[in-house]
A and B are shown apart, each in its own frame.
Chain A
């Protein structure tokens, strides 16, 4: 079946630092999504990507659809305490309708 490897599993950073995380898949995807999950809540969509090489920003967040179509990256610039949470990638390949989710990156920000 589909496999998504998301790394790192967790990060502990100082406020103001930049953060990078990524996902790689075992197959070619035509959609990459990035979600954030706050404690006790459901995931919320941050950024959606639909084209190889696409670079999309949402405030301090920037995500890229890898040119190989097997990976995606999320960067957070100048982190703040409210960035704390779990960030998930998700993707869909051309032959499936269902999304495959990564295992998440847990981000902690020290004020």
Chain B
């Protein structure tokens, strides 16, 4: 099993550009989520999904969109990138929302918005 994979590993955008951060897991996990990690702060939840076709907002959802068309994939879209979105983004998955204590994290995408 590859676990949770994320692409790209690094990305530089200009303000106003759009892009999609990819996340995939091969563990048949129902629950998937996106976090951002900023210096001096803990991980903050952006969006999450409890299963295919179901998504919901986390703590800091503004500026981000998600969709969950399959169990395996949970892409994060930035429609119009802003410098405030410069961060490291982590995708995570777990068997269910009740088992997020044992969620698996991907290696992260380091995003810089100029």
Contact = CB atoms under 8 A, between A and B. Distances in A.
Contacts, number: 50
Nearest to A98: B45
Interface residues of B, number: 22
A48 B101 contact: yes
Nearest to A50: B101
A31 interface: yes
Interface in B40-75: 40-45, 48, 58-59
A40 B13 CA distance: 20
Given A97-B97, A98-B58, A98-B59, A43 B102 contact: no
Which bracket fits the contact residues of A? 20 to 34
B42 A42 contact: no
A44 interface: yes
Given A98-B59, A103-B40, A42 B107 contact: yes
B9 to A, nearest CB: 8
Interface of B: 4, 40-45, 48, 58-59, 90, 92, 97, 100-108
Interface of A: 1, 4, 6, 9, 31, 33, 40-45, 48, 88, 90, 97-104
